[in-house]
Structure 1
């Protein structure tokens, strides 16, 4: 190799070394020049090149402070919700964000990259999957719209066909995944809810109208065990319902309970429920009331007998049914051997009368009445009451779901669940499981109420006493009382905390003909604590935290939006109430929650 070539090579290497040293010096200190950390809201970049890590940490923490004031936009079907990062369970980890930044490197490629543009880093976030899912679920609860099923209802004695309409529901799981996967790209997330088709079509509702019209075209003579009961057109309209058979077909169903409500003694003179053995407090001491058999007509038998009659005209509108002897579930002998000495607890709630609600509350209460729990046994409302179906004696009721009509079986059973839950609460018995309503319902005590839904959402408690207990129910057409009898063991104190994290409801206009007015109710969090004492000493302290989401205020702007009041008119003649227990000697807790901050509550759905 020539001397000249060696000199040239040496000069070239020296120049490269000088360039490398110069570049290395120009890159800066620990953190290379032109290093970028993106801001939390993606609106700008933080140039942290040449800073110390302590300086970068202060800068990132300052961005975290600004983040607390920022909002993430969630747009569902055109409705915009602005949520705090923390409400979505998303938090910026300042330490991890700084630690991910690479120190100044001797790698020539890294040096060139730093000098010509630098490296960019996204902030490091932690995600609470459960909080994010709950936040998206809260939004979905305000935007989801159940399909309106085709139906036939009666306005007085005039049958009306309800047109079917599609609903929609946000795919919560997909929405959560989208927020996670696109988090470093945007702070605005738009979702379109998939449509849900109704099962019962408008055509099916129209096809059921002729039968409904003929049903109320005249009176029907119904013979009960040979005794005449005259059904007027208004009685037929009150007791007749059209229900989805599960395949999208509307089938007529008559209800014995609704005939009880509308006919009163004219019906209960011949059709009587069995009476379970019960206890009533007389002078503070439980007195056993003996059981008695009843005479019943099932809804299936009643419907089978009346269908030919309502299809007929004139004097052919005659039907006949035979009652069946029904034995009580709890006999005098069974109750007498329980060793019951006193009323452990009792609780009463009130409700606005509605035909479907009365039927369902009475039916669920009847199924619960007389339930005996031996030591260690668990009460499950779903197990005791069973699925809420027509075959099980429940009626379809109009509920409000996001300001729209929806019919479902079992409307009102949550009233039974809440009343029973509170009776268990004040007895000191072990509370096993419950779920509060999504929205606050003003007739229930805040943070001390329960909803149920077949088959998964249940209300359960366990008999932790040394002796059996009996669950007793009694009711009128506007109130329900649940009492627990046995041998008292515990004293119970309740501590109700203040409303926290109060969230205002939205104010919306609805121009649809099926609109229902809602006053709106605020969302809030509340903690209610049960303190259980034995002989004056605290043995258990149980805090129950409840999160209520706000319910929108809906103003109906369509002048045709007049049909669908979820509370049907009260029956002219009330049902004969079951025998009610004499109030316990100990004070009964009142089902009254603390006053709402502002805005009256409209229950949604109506339980």
Structure 2
């Protein structure tokens, strides 16, 4: 029996219309987003389920690898998330069409969630990785080993390819992966290896072939080939070539001294009726130290062996205006040590006292006895006298100046200033306070202390044929007391016999340990205590026999 065409049409319409009506306003059945089933749910419910189901993905860190570096970041740190509203809308798109109804009745669909990206946060997250990945290229250079130029060949750097990295991170997140390998681009150096190699065999070799003269104010000094090579480098000029660069730090002190026309004079103080009065400073004239390095570099570039620099004013370390603001108004400490008259060592004690007398230590400044006085030599009036070297007394130029160091150490101690570096004598010397003394030699050991106050410190020295005194003038901060333990860990005197023309007898003293406390007081109350622990070796009793 034939079915009328009209009936067929009605059945077809009903077959489409009824399901379409039943499914309207809902996500088509069988729809899954990244494994989360949202089929048959109204949009609001579907979004809620997606938010819960995709939460684990948002908390799972992404491992980003680039150039051997790895960094783990959460999607949120990278500005990545899911737009669940747009995902549901996408799932419902076309659901009312015949094809959509058919798929809902007889099929299923797996979808990816719609990803949202905060471009600013993604860029910031990748920038944090780039900090550990990116390296600047090493531009070539020429350095010296002795007088021999040596090449430093250029090396490329690298940089994270941010654009490609952004795309790779998005793709990994969309696909549900937990890692992404990011591309790194090479950053080439401006210089080439050939340019560096040519410079080694030509320009750099010629540059140190002869000494260089520096002239200022009619005075002349020489920079030797070795000094040139020590400070000279050829570095990238940024245009594919090399240019000379000279570090004048090593040669500047010697040249400044040799080319000094008139020496600057620091402001100091004189004591008039018990009150400090400022002695004005005076500017000097000499070489422009700051211009020295660039001037030598220019001379090398021009293949010149002569540098002419105008004389400039050389300012004193302490100016008159500065001195007047230093708060130097009263004696804050004083110490005297005594010695037998007229030995050669007394000449050295008086000489070092004269050099240091009137020196002003600025607030925060560290005073170095060796730095201020320099090497003791006969040209400046020092003479040979006994000192301790390698466990024995020997004669040396400047011997005996440790008595001055000890005297100043005690001025520092009772002035309440910071002890930076001091070393007690190897053997105890009875004319010094046990555990409260310091040796000094050149260049080491040095004696250094810091003016840790906000006032200046004026050092004044005076002496007689049997004593040396160091006074500190400043603004008083503390009352200082000293307390000592008894001697302990006693070691007996060894007996020794030696011969030879250089043998100097030694009287022998027991070794021992001792502790000294520096007690800081303000208004009679103890505010701090500082312990100094000293161990003395036993001085041998050395008898010298004729050889």
**TM-score, structure 2 length as denominator?**
0.47
| Greater relative CO (CA pairs within 8 A, separation 6+) | 1
More strand by share: 2
Q: Looking at CA atoms only, which structure, 1 or 2, has the larger radius of gyration?
A: 2
